[in-house]
Structure 1
Amino acid sequence: MIAAAAENNALGANNDLLWHLPDDFKRFKQITSGHKIIMGRKTFESFPKPLPNRTHIIITRDKNYTVSHSTCIVIHSLEEAIDLVRNEAVSFIIGGGEIYKQGAKFANKIELTRVHASFENADTFFPEIDESEWQLENEQYHPKDERHKYDFTYLTYVKKQRK
């Protein structure tokens, strides 16, 4: 899973992000390029156009929903999406809130950008990370600057091995 979430786990409001962090966008592009990305319909529709160099797997309950773009596959459950990426070395769940919640049990890694602010106007949230299941493997702090209104930290979690 890859996400950017505030201190209160806010992801967005009205199908839009609550912040603009160019370095985080650059990191997202670098990490996900060349891979399959799994998302809900609303997340897909928040993009102006499909993201380049990625296969989009779009989950919707709407059996009549179609996207006429060669890099997009429309399916109707997260389980179907997981089946489509089962043989991939790497793939990413990219949102939104409900897809992250359902996807946590399938994920083995979380690339989380923790935005150091809270947003009370949010309507979509990232699930709590259960530290009994996830081990923080790496963190890298990025202070706010002229291009970034908020401080943020890149956090990499890996799922702990069951004993």
Structure 2
Amino acid sequence: MDLQLAQEKDAVLGKDFLTWLWFKSEEQNHVFKTREGEDFALWMGQKIVVEGGEGESLEKAVCTGMMSRLQEAKLGLGTGKKVVQARVTLEEDSNSWSMQLDAGMFSFNGLKPPKVDTQLQEGEDPDGAFLEKMYLLERAIYYTDEVYSMFLGKRMSSEWNQECQRIREWIYQD
């Protein structure tokens, strides 16, 4: 398979993933569960970019707002656009992460993990803060992998058409 075709297929899958993730987070009241049964919260907000068309007819809408319901982006979904970028927040217990997910590059960037106390107390391991930060980064990747695995399970199953219908209903419910 040539590289351009592979990138196009990844971009479509990435757009489907981010669109599904927005729907699923709202449908489940932002609560997800890992395969091991751990609860965590995930929501999309502050910034969502939707895009539709191609070439000269490409249309893009960027919606931002701290407490916004992102109605413009949701209206864009109703016209056939899909989510191409989104600011995602993850929470587990008292820990909170935020990152920007990108469907086209199938990547995330700007990952902000919870703050780690870097003040060393007497007798503490000087590597402790670094190791804690690495653990927190791994947790963010783990939760992102978990929701992507949930998506792939649904996307590759015979239930995908029903899920698409539920997404359409969600788009038009307001």
Task: Give the TM-score range, shorter chain.
Answer: under 0.3
The higher-RCO structure (CA 8 Å, 6+ apart) is 1
Higher strand share: 1
Report the structure number with the largest CA radius of gyration: 2
| TM-score w.r.t. length of structure 1 | 0.26
TM (norm. structure 2) is 0.25
